[in-house]
Amino acid sequence: MLSHCANSECARPFLRLRQGKLFLVEKECGVPSGESTPPCLPQKQPPRRVERYWLCDECAKVWTLVHDRHQGIVLVPLPPPPASARPAMGHVCRETA
């Protein structure tokens, strides 16, 4: 889980904490449907558990991770940088008449 970049198409090995971005995802209590656990298992774990995911430097620039209730951890593209970081666009139609 933490041994490689969370981007399955990259899968860069996790080497240093300083590189990339670490995500702590708190999972809700309860077992998601589809996951089978033996009924006799003692409930020793706390109701919530935190899972760690890591994105390498390159992936952390363009991707982020979100926890989807149904799909689990999903890789989503980061929103584009704010307009101030980009060359001004729009409102270029000036009337010269």
Single out the segment in contact with Zn ion by CB under 5 A; choices: 35-43, 57-65, 70-78, 88-96.
Answer: 57-65
Single out the segment in contact with Zn ion by CB under 5 A; choices: 26-34, 53-61, 64-72, 75-83.
Answer: 53-61
Q: Which residues are CB-neighbours of 80 under 8 A, at least 6 positions away?
A: 86
Which residue(s) pair with 52 in the sheet?
24
List helix spans (H) across the chain: 57-62
Contact 19, 2 (CB under 8 A): no
Going residue by residue from 59 to 88, which x/- string records binding to Zn ion, judged by CB under 5 A? x-----------------------------
- Residues within the interface to Zn ion (CB under 5 A): 5, 7, 10, 12, 56, 59
